[in-house]
Amino acid sequence: MFPEDLKPPVWVLRMGHRPGRDKRVTTHVALLARSFGARGVLVDRRDERLHQTVEEVVKRFGGNFALRSGVSPKREVENFPGAVVHLTMYGEPLRWHVKELKGEERLLVVVGAEKVPGWVYQKADYNISISQQPHSEISSLAVFLHELYGGVEEELSFPGAREVILPAKKGKKVISLEAPPLSELKKEEGWIPDEKEALRILVDVGTPPAVISHCLAAMEFSKDLLARVSKNVKIDERLLLVGSLLHDVGRSRSHGIDHGVIGGELLRGLGVDERLAKVAERHIGAGLDEEDASRLGLPPKRYVPETLEEKIITHIDNMLADSERVPLSTFLERMRKRGLEKVARRALDIQMELETLLDIKFDELIG
């Protein structure tokens, strides 16, 4: 999901900026606004250094964030084609208006420094307080955007990024994107991207960082599996590794059961090889037959993994809880609790089939 997908679009107007003195605070307003999904920031005084900092962040972390400095706040407020929200501790609680605000066509959110002129209180359509106590305008803006967009900030993706930070239990997990932006990649019919290009696809179609982390864990799982399998077994290694990376690409649009179908369509739309589209389409649970599909409201079709690569990817996906490897029994229990006995049985069948064919024990790969 991209900031451009969020409704209503938000622009932030920062008032009372004093270049030199407020550089840090205004930079933080801009970075916070960007990371929580706002489209851009308007600042009342021209500030070249602010432009430089924001541009560097956008270049490195992606997206299309806009910054305009040297604007006239009065003119911006008067001419804004939407509702104006002023964040102030003197205003009304956000809870009173959040539903209404979600329904607005677009919002201009005014955050001021210490003193905000009286006309802002009068001209604003909403004066909103995050608390009735003095605090920072940066934190007010964070809470406001978090509530407005339903806490979606951790799902946001910024296309064109050179670096993506992934969630990590400890330390730092940062990936560098070496492939050019998706718009510049060659997308010919039957294209099988390499690993770098597949990562670029994930980022540029809007896959949330936590899902990218899961996809990378799936690829690592596949690599460990390949290291244990005899070379006599015919596996298309590239298909397996890139398929592992791309199997959840549909979660850029939906975390529901339809993400397999969506992923397949998305990859076909990019001209990616049909075998990879099928990996995405058939990886749900341990596959869905026509009856499951119609019960779940999916387009009528058989989504059962057929090729060796499809089966391996489905299976390792079932042995991953987010990015951590877990025994298949964890998945089986979850399915049985939900009354999905058929899925559990099919997953067990796949495990037995793969363990025999590949001469490995999946539990030994958990580590």
What does the binding site for Fe ion look like in residue numbers (CB under 5 A)? 248
Question: 181 preceded by cis ω (within 30°)?
Answer: no
Nearer to Fe ion, 63 or 250 (CB): 250
**d(C-alpha 280, C-alpha 246), whole Å:** 7
Nearer to Fe ion, 110 or 225 (CB): 225
**d(C-alpha 363, C-alpha 66), whole Å:** 49
The residue with its CB nearest to Fe ion is: 248
CB of 331 to Fe ion, least distance (A): 12
CB of 201 to Fe ion, least distance (A): 16
**d(C-alpha 242, C-alpha 221), whole Å:** 12
Instruction: Encode 31-62: b = buried (16+ Cβ within 10 Å), e = exposed.
Output: bbbbbbbbbbbbbbbebeebeebbeebbeebb
CB of 317 to Fe ion, least distance (A): 6
CB 96 within 8 A of CB 127: no
CB of 298 to Fe ion, least distance (A): 14
Two structure tokens written together for 131: 């608390």
- What is Dmax (Cα atoms) for the chain? 78
CB of 249 to Fe ion, least distance (A): 9
Nearer to Fe ion, 125 or 248 (CB): 248
Burial environment of residue 315 by CB neighbours within 10 A (0 to 12, 13 to 18, 19 or more): buried
CB 30 within 8 A of CB 52: no
CB of 233 to Fe ion, least distance (A): 25
Nearer to Fe ion, 89 or 326 (CB): 326
What is the SS3 assignment for 208?
Answer: coil
CB 14 within 8 A of CB 111: yes
Nearer to Fe ion, 62 or 263 (CB): 263
Nearer to Fe ion, 101 or 249 (CB): 249
Nearer to Fe ion, 87 or 246 (CB): 246
**d(C-alpha 359, C-alpha 232), whole Å:** 11
CB of 358 to Fe ion, least distance (A): 22
